[in-house]
Structure 1
Amino acid sequence: MEITQTKKGKRHQNRIPDKGEPNTTKWNKPGSTAKKYGKDGWVEKEFNKGHQGDKVPDVEKNDHIHDWKPNPHHPEGRPTRQEGRIPTKPDYKDFNL
């Protein structure tokens, strides 16, 4: 597991890139978000600790997963992030939790 810190700034301080080393998992510095990269290096799955706020969907107020689906229409092949869902046991295993 590799911990990544990205550029400074309120929104980007703990952001993890959508493309990384193939078949790896990266966590942000505070350990609140992780991304699992597939064989092509694009993110396949994202783990988030619960978010706060009135506009946050209920499922995202606790630990949750965002699946990333392939997007053949994106010029770089960047996948599309899906809505949050409750983690399964295999999800926890994917992120060594």
Structure 2
Amino acid sequence: MDELIDHSFKLIAKILYFLVRIFAWLIFEFLYEEIAWWLGWCICRAITLNSRPTVGINGYDEATTTTRFVVCFTGIATIILAGTILAIYISANAT
């Protein structure tokens, strides 16, 4: 009986581990490769007056590693900065 319970817990643990890994992978794929890339691409294009990055907005796969990092970092930094500014604005106007 103890072996049956032990195997059941191991199976449940494996399934939960698998689901967490899939969820984490999807978050990375969606947040980093889609949202951060698109936002960072637009910001970089605006800052460099439409000259960099040289790949198109759907060109994440064709971009170099350095370009990917810089553009995605810019996108994530923009999200964090916007969140910080919004939080400061809301807390300053809260009465």
TM range, normalised to the smaller chain? under 0.3
Q: What TM-score do you get using the length of structure 2 for normalisation?
A: 0.23
Bigger radius of gyration, 1 or 2? 2
Q: Which has the higher contact order (CA 8 A, sep 6+)?
A: 2
More helix by share: 2
Which structure: greater strand fraction? Answer: 1
TM-score by length of 1: 0.22
